[in-house]
Amino acid sequence: MIVQLLIYSFIAGTQVLILALGLFTIYSVSKVQHLALGGIAAAVAYAFYFASHDAALPLWGLIAVPLLVAILLGIISFWLNESFTKRQEYLLALLVSFSFGVALEAIISIVFGTDGKSLISGVSSVVSYGDYQIPLSGIFIIGFGAICALISLFVVKFTSFGRTLKAIAENSFSATSIGINERKIRLIIYIAVCIVAGGIGILSGLNTALTPMMGFNLIIMAFIALLVGGVTDVRGTIIASYIVALVPEFIVGIVPNISSNWKMVLVFLIAFVVLIVKPEGLIANKQRKA
Interacting positions 25-54 with another protein (CB under 8 A): 33, 35
Selected binder of another protein within 59, 60, 178, 276 (CB under 8 A) = 276
DSSP class per residue in 60-105? HHHHHHHHHHHHHHHHHHHHHHHHHHHTT-HHHHHHHHHHHHHHHH
Nearest to 133 by CA among 275, 8, 18, 252: 8
Rounded least distance, CB 51 to another protein, Å: 19
- With respect to another protein, which residue has the nearer C-beta, 11 or 70? 11
State which of positions 214-243 bind another protein (CB under 8 A). 214, 216-217, 220, 223-224, 227, 231
State which of positions 4-23 bind another protein (CB under 8 A). 4-5, 8-9, 12
Rounded least distance, CB 116 to another protein, Å: 3
Selected binder of another protein within 58, 131, 286, 288 (CB under 8 A) = 131
- Which CA distances in Å does 48 have to 44, 65, 109? 6, 7, 15
Nearest to 138 by CA among 151, 129, 127, 148: 127
d(CA 239, CA 219): 17
Rounded least distance, CB 276 to another protein, Å: 6
Rounded least distance, CB 112 to another protein, Å: 11
- With respect to another protein, which residue has the nearer C-beta, 114 or 159? 114
Question: Do residues 19 and 218 make contact, with C-beta atoms less than 8 angstroms apart?
Answer: yes
